[in-house]
Amino acid sequence: MTIRKSPLRLLVRQDQRHIRLYREEYESPAFRSLSPAARALLLEFLMVCVPSRNGRLVLPVARAAKRLGVSENTVRKAYDDLLEKGFIAIREEAQWQNGRAREYRLTFEQSNGREPTDEWRDWTPDRPIWRSRRRRTRREK
């Protein structure tokens, strides 16, 4: 009996980009406490992240909502969740007058030649990394 290679395997290129999430990150209390929408948003950030551009990642709320198939309000909560747990950090605030969106960096990836800051390692439920200035509704409390 001869073993044939799958035709699909032949179509896969060896140089294709991939998303990597280490077990340490995945099993961390910070990651485990993320909402499903925040986990999906983190994967979207990994998709748009090119190593040389970490620190200048732009993913507007409307575009993220469309990519994830959820409401913009759900995406805003997911952003807050990722910021609070230390997986992303704001590099530069939005400048609506100049038409610039907020820029982020992934804290577990190198940025501008610097080693990762890994703020997510320091997160505990009683000590968030970042606090949202967004007002919470009664339903969210």
Contact by Cβ (8 Å): 79, 61: yes
Predicted local confidence at residue 106, as pLDDT: 94
Lowest-confidence segment of 11-15, 77-81, 130-134 by average pLDDT: 11-15
Q: Please tell me whether the overall predicted TM-score, pTM, comes out greater than 0.85 for this model.
A: no
The tens digit of pLDDT for each residue in 21-65 reads 899 999 999 999 999 999 999 999 999 888 788 888 999 999 999
DSSP 55-108: T-B---HHHHHHHHTS-HHHHHHHHHHHHHHTSEEEEE--BGGGTB--EEEETT
pLDDT of residue 141: 47
Beta bridge partners of 111: 114
Q: Is the pLDDT of residue 16 over 80?
A: no
Average pLDDT score over the chain: 84
* Residue with token string 């890994």: 118
User: CATH 1.10.10.10: does it fit domain 21-122?
Assistant: yes
Q: Band of the pLDDT at 7, cuts 50, 70, 90?
A: low
Higher pLDDT, 6 or 62: 62
pLDDT of 49: 86
Q: Which of 32-36, 86-90, 98-102 has the lowest mean pLDDT?
A: 98-102
Domain locations in the chain? 21-122
